[in-house]
């Protein structure tokens, strides 16, 4: 899917600071998901320079608010530029600088329609725990990099990131309260709807 100038500029900022944003396929899937859910409240772990946030906001309701958490305040400053260029009003985006595992526990239980995780891969299991608390019934948790450069499917790959992503995939598949799907877009997008 072709991206517009605003997304292209956000990607250029990402390249400058060494951030790897979601691909356009994963972005389009997130926009679609936010739209189908009629999302009013979304949490994003990993603001980056605003690429995934732009996709999410474009799918959310016009009164929807994106809460985005990132450890790097400089990345969030660049994301704010991206959102401003896109004409998104400041009240639609709540940027919180800090560790996701410090911030997520302070957010409201059962309040969110969608939780998108693209932060520290080794924290994915803890993000899942938090997401299940944060999501309303019918809400969806999404994990980027679910295939992790084709390493997840290879049992010989035992590095920390790969193992953590593999474990989250297994937990999601085995949890009877979740309806999962793995989309082969970009580096893999794992979605799970909460019952």
Total domains in the chain come to: 1
3-state secondary structure of 175: coil
In the prediction, which pLDDT does 2 show? Answer: 76
Per residue in 58-68, pLDDT tens?
999 999 999 99
Residue 48 belongs to what domain range? 5-194
- Alpha-carbon distance 138 to 179, whole Å? 10
What's 176's domain CATH number? 3.40.50.150
Candidates 99, 4, 6; CA nearest to 49 is 6
Comparing CA positions, the residue from 101, 111, 106, 93 lying closest to residue 52 is 93
CA 22 to CA 27: how far, in whole Å? 6
pLDDT in tens, 134-188: 999 999 999 999 999 999 999 999 999 999 999 999 999 999 999 999 999 999 9
Phi–psi pair at 157, nearest 5 degrees: -80, 110
The pLDDT score that the predictor gives to residue 1 is 65
23 φ/ψ angles, rounded to the nearest 5 degrees: -75, 170
Q: What angle separates helix 51-59 from helix 73-85, to the nearest 10 degrees?
A: 50
pLDDT digits (tens, 9 = 90+) for 97-137: 999 999 999 999 999 999 999 999 999 999 999 999 999 99
Residue 123 in tokens: 């924290």
Q: What is the pLDDT of residues 12-67, one digit of tens each?
A: 999 999 999 999 999 999 999 999 999 999 999 999 999 999 999 999 999 999 99
- Pairing assessment for the beta strands 178-183 and 135-144 based on DSSP bridges: unpaired
């Amino acid at each position: 899917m072709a991206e517009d100038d605003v997304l292209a500029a956000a990607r250029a900022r990402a390249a400058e600071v060494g951030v790897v944003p979601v691909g356009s396929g994963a972005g389009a899937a997130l926009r679609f998901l936010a739209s189908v859910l009629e999302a009013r409240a979304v949490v994003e772990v990993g603001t980056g320079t605003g690429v995934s946030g732009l996709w999410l906001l474009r799918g959310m309701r016009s009164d929807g608010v994106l809460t985005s958490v990132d450890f790097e305040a400089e990345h969030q400053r660049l994301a704010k530029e991206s959102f401003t260029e896109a004409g998104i009003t400041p009240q639609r985006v709540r940027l919180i600088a800090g560790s996701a595992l410090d911030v997520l526990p302070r957010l409201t239980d059962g309040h969110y329609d969608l939780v998108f995780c693209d932060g520290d891969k080794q924290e994915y299991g803890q993000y899942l725990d938090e997401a299940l608390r944060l999501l309303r019934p019918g809400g969806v948790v999404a994990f980027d990099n679910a295939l992790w450069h084709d390493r997840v499917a290879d049992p010989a790959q035992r590095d920390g990131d790969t193992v953590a992503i593999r474990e989250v995939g297994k937990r999601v598949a085995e949890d009877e309260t979740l309806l999962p799907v793995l989309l082969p877009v970009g580096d893999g997008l794992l979605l799970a709807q909460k019952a």
